Amino acid sequence: MRLYLDTADLGQIRELSRLGVLDGVTTNPAIVADAEKSYRNAVEDVAEIVDGPVFAQVIAAAADEMVREARRYQEWAADVVAKIPATREGFEALSRLRTEGIPAGATVVFSIEQAVLAAKNDATFVAPYVGRLDDAGEDGVGTVRRMQEIYDTYGFETELLAASIRNTTQAVALYEAGVDAVTMSPDVLEAHVPHPKTDEGVAGFEAAWGDRGSPLDERGDSS
Protein backbone atom coordinates (compact mmCIF):
# COMPACT_ATOMS: atom_id res chain seq x y z
CA MET A 1 0.00 0.00 0.00
CA ARG A 2 1.27 3.46 -0.82
CA LEU A 3 0.62 6.56 1.24
CA TYR A 4 0.96 10.00 -0.31
CA LEU A 5 0.71 13.44 1.24
CA ASP A 6 -1.68 15.85 -0.49
CA THR A 7 0.07 19.20 -0.13
CA ALA A 8 2.77 21.46 -1.55
CA ASP A 9 3.66 22.87 1.86
CA LEU A 10 7.37 22.18 2.16
CA GLY A 11 7.45 22.55 5.94
CA GLN A 12 4.72 19.98 6.40
CA ILE A 13 6.28 17.62 3.86
CA ARG A 14 9.64 17.81 5.66
CA GLU A 15 8.03 17.37 9.05
CA LEU A 16 5.86 14.39 8.08
CA SER A 17 8.64 12.76 6.01
CA ARG A 18 10.33 12.11 9.34
CA LEU A 19 7.64 9.54 10.17
CA GLY A 20 9.07 7.36 7.41
CA VAL A 21 5.69 6.48 5.91
CA LEU A 22 5.45 8.68 2.83
CA ASP A 23 5.69 7.25 -0.68
CA GLY A 24 5.34 10.57 -2.49
CA VAL A 25 3.35 13.77 -2.71
CA THR A 26 0.20 14.64 -4.63
CA THR A 27 -0.79 18.16 -5.58
CA ASN A 28 -3.66 19.75 -7.42
CA PRO A 29 -4.19 23.24 -8.85
CA ALA A 30 -5.79 24.49 -5.62
CA ILE A 31 -2.84 23.25 -3.57
CA VAL A 32 -0.31 24.82 -5.95
CA ALA A 33 -2.26 28.11 -5.98
CA ASP A 34 -1.99 28.18 -2.17
CA ALA A 35 1.79 27.79 -2.43
CA GLU A 36 1.92 31.20 -4.15
CA LYS A 37 4.76 30.39 -6.54
CA SER A 38 4.96 29.33 -10.15
CA TYR A 39 3.64 25.88 -11.00
CA ARG A 40 7.10 24.82 -12.04
CA ASN A 41 8.73 26.07 -8.85
CA ALA A 42 6.10 24.37 -6.72
CA VAL A 43 6.69 21.01 -8.40
CA GLU A 44 10.47 21.37 -8.40
CA ASP A 45 10.58 22.39 -4.74
CA VAL A 46 8.43 19.47 -3.65
CA ALA A 47 10.40 17.02 -5.81
CA GLU A 48 13.64 18.17 -4.21
CA ILE A 49 12.59 17.07 -0.73
CA VAL A 50 10.43 14.05 -1.53
CA ASP A 51 11.61 10.51 -1.90
CA GLY A 52 9.08 9.25 -4.47
CA PRO A 53 6.83 10.63 -7.17
CA VAL A 54 5.28 14.09 -7.27
CA PHE A 55 1.84 14.16 -8.85
CA ALA A 56 1.12 17.35 -10.80
CA GLN A 57 -2.24 18.05 -12.41
CA VAL A 58 -2.65 19.55 -15.85
CA ILE A 59 -4.52 22.84 -16.04
CA ALA A 60 -5.70 22.73 -19.65
CA ALA A 61 -9.13 21.43 -20.67
CA ALA A 62 -8.22 20.37 -24.22
CA ALA A 63 -6.38 17.13 -24.92
CA ASP A 64 -3.62 18.73 -27.02
CA GLU A 65 -2.73 21.18 -24.31
CA MET A 66 -3.01 18.57 -21.55
CA VAL A 67 -0.48 16.44 -23.40
CA ARG A 68 1.81 19.43 -23.89
CA GLU A 69 1.68 20.28 -20.17
CA ALA A 70 2.25 16.67 -19.08
CA ARG A 71 5.25 16.39 -21.38
CA ARG A 72 6.73 19.58 -19.97
CA TYR A 73 6.21 18.45 -16.36
CA GLN A 74 8.58 15.57 -17.12
CA GLU A 75 11.38 18.11 -17.56
CA TRP A 76 10.85 19.64 -14.12
CA ALA A 77 11.88 16.71 -11.96
CA ALA A 78 12.92 13.08 -12.19
CA ASP A 79 9.70 11.45 -11.00
CA VAL A 80 6.60 13.44 -11.98
CA VAL A 81 3.25 11.78 -12.66
CA ALA A 82 0.70 13.85 -14.56
CA LYS A 83 -2.82 14.04 -13.17
CA ILE A 84 -5.40 14.24 -15.94
CA PRO A 85 -9.04 15.04 -15.11
CA ALA A 86 -11.39 12.24 -16.16
CA THR A 87 -13.13 14.20 -18.90
CA ARG A 88 -13.68 13.23 -22.55
CA GLU A 89 -10.60 15.27 -23.48
CA GLY A 90 -8.76 13.84 -20.49
CA PHE A 91 -9.17 10.24 -21.62
CA GLU A 92 -7.92 11.21 -25.06
CA ALA A 93 -4.90 12.86 -23.47
CA LEU A 94 -4.29 9.75 -21.32
CA SER A 95 -4.31 7.58 -24.39
CA ARG A 96 -1.77 9.78 -26.14
CA LEU A 97 0.44 10.00 -23.07
CA ARG A 98 0.40 6.22 -22.80
CA THR A 99 1.67 6.00 -26.40
CA GLU A 100 4.46 8.41 -25.51
CA GLY A 101 5.33 6.48 -22.33
CA ILE A 102 4.64 9.47 -20.09
CA PRO A 103 3.37 8.50 -16.62
CA ALA A 104 -0.15 9.83 -16.21
CA GLY A 105 -3.36 8.89 -14.45
CA ALA A 106 -6.95 9.96 -14.08
CA THR A 107 -8.07 12.34 -11.34
CA VAL A 108 -11.33 13.99 -10.21
CA VAL A 109 -12.90 10.55 -10.63
CA PHE A 110 -16.44 9.99 -9.37
CA SER A 111 -17.71 6.84 -11.02
CA ILE A 112 -16.86 3.20 -11.54
CA GLU A 113 -17.30 3.74 -15.28
CA GLN A 114 -14.54 6.37 -15.26
CA ALA A 115 -12.31 4.08 -13.19
CA VAL A 116 -12.75 1.28 -15.73
CA LEU A 117 -11.91 3.60 -18.63
CA ALA A 118 -8.78 4.75 -16.81
CA ALA A 119 -7.67 1.15 -16.22
CA LYS A 120 -8.38 0.20 -19.83
CA ASN A 121 -6.16 3.11 -20.77
CA ASP A 122 -3.32 1.70 -18.64
CA ALA A 123 -3.43 4.84 -16.53
CA THR A 124 -0.69 4.92 -13.91
CA PHE A 125 -3.33 5.62 -11.25
CA VAL A 126 -6.97 6.50 -10.83
CA ALA A 127 -8.02 8.92 -8.10
CA PRO A 128 -11.62 8.67 -6.88
CA TYR A 129 -12.67 11.57 -4.63
CA VAL A 130 -14.01 9.90 -1.50
CA GLY A 131 -14.96 12.98 0.53
CA ARG A 132 -16.59 14.74 -2.40
CA LEU A 133 -18.59 11.59 -3.23
CA ASP A 134 -19.89 11.67 0.34
CA ASP A 135 -20.62 15.40 -0.02
CA ALA A 136 -22.72 14.53 -3.09
CA GLY A 137 -24.76 12.07 -1.01
CA GLU A 138 -23.00 8.98 -2.35
CA ASP A 139 -20.94 6.38 -0.53
CA GLY A 140 -17.33 7.36 -1.22
CA VAL A 141 -15.65 4.45 0.51
CA GLY A 142 -18.21 2.01 -0.88
CA THR A 143 -17.53 3.26 -4.41
CA VAL A 144 -13.79 2.78 -3.94
CA ARG A 145 -14.39 -0.71 -2.53
CA ARG A 146 -16.37 -1.65 -5.65
CA MET A 147 -13.64 -0.19 -7.87
CA GLN A 148 -11.01 -2.22 -6.03
CA GLU A 149 -13.04 -5.42 -6.46
CA ILE A 150 -13.41 -4.79 -10.19
CA TYR A 151 -9.70 -3.98 -10.57
CA ASP A 152 -8.81 -7.16 -8.68
CA THR A 153 -11.23 -9.24 -10.77
CA TYR A 154 -9.71 -8.10 -14.04
CA GLY A 155 -6.15 -7.83 -12.76
CA PHE A 156 -5.94 -4.17 -13.82
CA GLU A 157 -2.56 -2.72 -12.91
CA THR A 158 -3.70 0.88 -12.55
CA GLU A 159 -3.10 2.05 -8.98
CA LEU A 160 -6.35 2.81 -7.19
CA LEU A 161 -5.43 5.98 -5.33
CA ALA A 162 -8.19 7.18 -3.00
CA ALA A 163 -8.18 10.98 -2.66
CA SER A 164 -10.27 13.65 -0.95
CA ILE A 165 -10.00 11.80 2.35
CA ARG A 166 -11.39 14.02 5.09
CA ASN A 167 -10.82 12.00 8.26
CA THR A 168 -9.23 8.89 9.71
CA THR A 169 -12.55 7.00 9.73
CA GLN A 170 -12.57 7.17 5.93
CA ALA A 171 -8.87 6.27 5.82
CA VAL A 172 -9.37 3.18 8.00
CA ALA A 173 -12.34 2.04 5.90
CA LEU A 174 -10.13 2.37 2.81
CA TYR A 175 -7.40 0.28 4.45
CA GLU A 176 -10.03 -2.36 5.26
CA ALA A 177 -11.05 -2.31 1.60
CA GLY A 178 -7.43 -3.03 0.67
CA VAL A 179 -7.10 0.05 -1.50
CA ASP A 180 -3.78 0.30 -3.40
CA ALA A 181 -2.97 3.84 -2.31
CA VAL A 182 -4.31 6.80 -0.38
CA THR A 183 -3.46 10.47 -0.42
CA MET A 184 -4.34 12.67 2.49
CA SER A 185 -3.80 16.13 3.90
CA PRO A 186 -1.15 16.67 6.57
CA ASP A 187 -3.99 17.06 9.12
CA VAL A 188 -5.47 13.64 8.39
CA LEU A 189 -2.03 12.01 8.50
CA GLU A 190 -1.22 13.79 11.79
CA ALA A 191 -4.49 12.47 13.16
CA HIS A 192 -3.23 8.90 12.60
CA VAL A 193 -0.65 9.31 15.37
CA PRO A 194 -2.18 10.12 18.76
CA HIS A 195 -4.29 7.91 20.98
CA PRO A 196 -5.31 8.98 24.50
CA LYS A 197 -4.52 5.51 25.82
CA THR A 198 -1.01 5.73 24.37
CA ASP A 199 -0.47 9.03 26.20
CA GLU A 200 -1.92 7.52 29.37
CA GLY A 201 0.27 4.43 29.06
CA VAL A 202 3.42 6.44 28.45
CA ALA A 203 2.65 8.70 31.42
CA GLY A 204 2.20 5.61 33.60
CA PHE A 205 5.58 4.18 32.56
CA GLU A 206 7.23 7.56 33.17
CA ALA A 207 5.72 7.67 36.66
CA ALA A 208 6.83 4.09 37.38
CA TRP A 209 10.39 4.86 36.30
CA GLY A 210 10.37 8.01 38.42
CA ASP A 211 13.65 9.83 38.84
CA ARG A 212 15.91 6.92 37.95
CA GLY A 213 17.27 8.84 34.95
CA SER A 214 18.32 7.73 31.47
CA PRO A 215 18.89 4.02 30.78
CA LEU A 216 22.20 5.16 29.31
CA ASP A 217 23.50 6.84 32.45
CA GLU A 218 25.97 5.07 34.73
CA ARG A 219 23.33 3.26 36.77
CA GLY A 220 21.69 1.79 33.67
CA ASP A 221 24.61 1.12 31.34
CA SER A 222 28.07 0.56 32.74
CA SER A 223 29.78 0.24 29.30
Q: Tell me which residues touch ligand G3P (CB under 6 A).
A: 6, 26, 28, 129, 131-132, 163-164, 183
Nearer to ligand G3P, 94 or 182 (CB): 182
DSSP letters, 80-108, are EEEEEESSHHHHHHHHHHHHHT--EEEEE
In the residue annotation, 83 being an active-site residue is answered as yes
Minimum Å gap between C-beta 161 and ligand G3P is 10
Minimum distance of ligand G3P from residue 163's CB (angstroms) = 4
Give 148 or 164: the residue with its C-beta nearer to ligand G3P. 164
Specify the residue, 67 or 108, whose C-beta has the smaller distance to ligand G3P. 108
Q: Is 167 helix (H, G, I), strand (E, B) or coil?
A: coil
CB 126 within 8 A of CB 108: no
Distance CA 81, CA 150 (A): 24
Which is the catalytic residue, given 37, 83, 120, 197?
A: 83
Give min distance, CB of 165 to ligand G3P, in A.
7
Find the helix or strand (DSSP H, E) in which 181 lies: strand 181-184
> Who's near 197: CB < 8 A, 6+ residues apart?
none
Q: Which residues are catalytic?
A: 83
